[in-house]
Structure 1
Amino acid sequence: MARSTINQWQMFKAVVEHGGFNQAASHVHKSPSSLHHAVQKLEEQLGVSLFTTQGRRLELTTAGEQLLRRIDYLLAEVDRMEQVASNMQQGVESRLRVAVDEAFPRELLYQALANVAEEFPLIRFEILETILSGADELLNEGKADVSLSPFTLSGNLSEDLCAVEFVVVAGVNHPLSKANCPLKLEDLKACRQIVLRDSAQKNAKDYGWLGAEQRWTVSHMTTSIELIRRGLGYAWLPRHSVENYLCDGSLVALKLECGATRTTNFYLNFTDAEALGPVTRSFLGHIRFLTL
């Protein structure tokens, strides 16, 4: 059983922050004698001295300094627990689960999360990174609250967010990158294509052009980019994901007679508009604004 109380530690910290019992009294709405008694009682319970007097100045002892560092964390945790309880009372969610396709622009997502965190600093985020129909599968299974997906949901619960441009790329030393004239899709068929696997466990979809006889299938965008940079294949990838590599020359945007770039729409999906809590609504508002 603890010998000290949170209230005693709060008064101890107030005395430290305000430089004395008299100075702290008005801030904590206690008399100086009450504060002095609380700290004295705390010292007796712990068996250590927390303060020493140097002339008219009150200073922390070595033990007081060590305990102050620990009590700062404890009191901060108490404040957080009270805030969580307050959020629960008001119906504020304790977490937000966002399923996001790897092709969705990350800067938009990060900024929306940062904005929500400013409003609800104690919220726990779960970012579930997916490929193709994986985001909507998590949403439909109740494992995500919102999905940012290249596919729509039935029931009018999908909102247009933005269009993402995909560009066909290969490594700088890949034979396709050295072509002197615009390529045809037939030229691509003879080379290895790097394909992203749908992360859905049920009803996985094939999406996009899959014309190459030789294909390597990977589960993450970063793996696809790295393989292509090493000259091991080509793929259509979001321009925003490969822009830096196009700039530094390690990737080359292939010149095709047609179809070198493609555009995919992304959607904001959720399953029950009436059940959305304030945190989720805040996220929806921010992601809508950022994609205007």
Structure 2
Amino acid sequence: MVTLKQIQALDAVVREGSFQAGARILHKTHPSVINLLGKLEDQLGFALFDRSGYRTTLTDAGQAFYQRSLRLLDDHVALEDLARHLGQGKEARLRIVIGDVTPLTETLQVLRSFAALHPQVQLDLGFENLSG
């Protein structure tokens, strides 16, 4: 089973460009990161890295796996944010009903700004005909 620690190690090595630099930002030893990613490669059945050159680079399969793993890391961060907000008693969903007399362009601009500032809040928009 692929673990979050393995994905985080993969991300650190790719972003930093080497196993040693990746280990440093993870506050782990260089051999422990090599071991962690070696086990991941064994589990996957393919090499993530081309180790033949001076710099550590991803194989084509490694690149495809890494790109997909970034979504998992983003989801992990979003889940932690949601848990923190729920723990603070903050609402995770906001329902807004827009009437036909509401200035739509301005309202949508405000909602876009709100969503950008509060990505953990799910906006649930509705529309009602109020003019009769």
Identical pairs, percent: 33
Q: Pairwise CA RMSD of aligned residues?
A: 1.5
Under a length normalisation based on structure 1, what TM-score does the superposition of the two structures give?
0.43
More helix by share: 2
| Corresponding letter in the other structure for 2:107 | L
Show the counterpart of 1:82. Answer: 80
Native 8 Å contact 2:47 2:59 kept in 1: yes
Q: How does 1:83-232 map to 2 (within 5 A)?
A: 83-132=81-130, 198=132
Could you list the runs of 5+ residues in structure 2 that have no partner in the other structure? none
**How many residues matched?**
132
Structure 1, unaligned runs of 5 or more: 133-195, 199-292
How far apart are residue 97 of structure 1 and its match?
Answer: 0.7
Which one has a bigger Cα radius of gyration?
A: 1
- Aligned residue in 1 for 2:38: 40
1:62 corresponds to which letter in structure 2?
A: D
CA drift at 1:109: 1.2
Q: TM-score, normalised by structure 2?
A: 0.90
What do the CA deviations read for 1:112-157 (whole angstroms, capped 9, x no partner)? 212322321121112211122xxxxxxxxxxxxxxxxxxxxxxxxx
Matched with 2:17 is 19
- How far off its partner does 1:12 sit? 1.0
d(CA) in 2 for partners of 1:44, 1:55: 21
1:68 equivalent in structure 2 = 66
**Which is bigger in relative contact order (C-alpha 8 A, separation at least 6)?**
1
Asked if 1:57 corresponds to 2:55, the answer is: yes
* Cα contact 2:115–2:123 (8 A) shared by 1: no
Provide runs of 4+ in structure 1 moved above 3 Å: none
Post-superposition shift, 1:36?
0.7
Q: CA deviation at 1:96?
A: 0.8
Q: Which has the higher strand share?
A: 1
CA-CA distance at 1:39 after TM superposition: 0.5
Residue 266 of structure 1 corresponds to none
1:108 Cα shift? 2.8
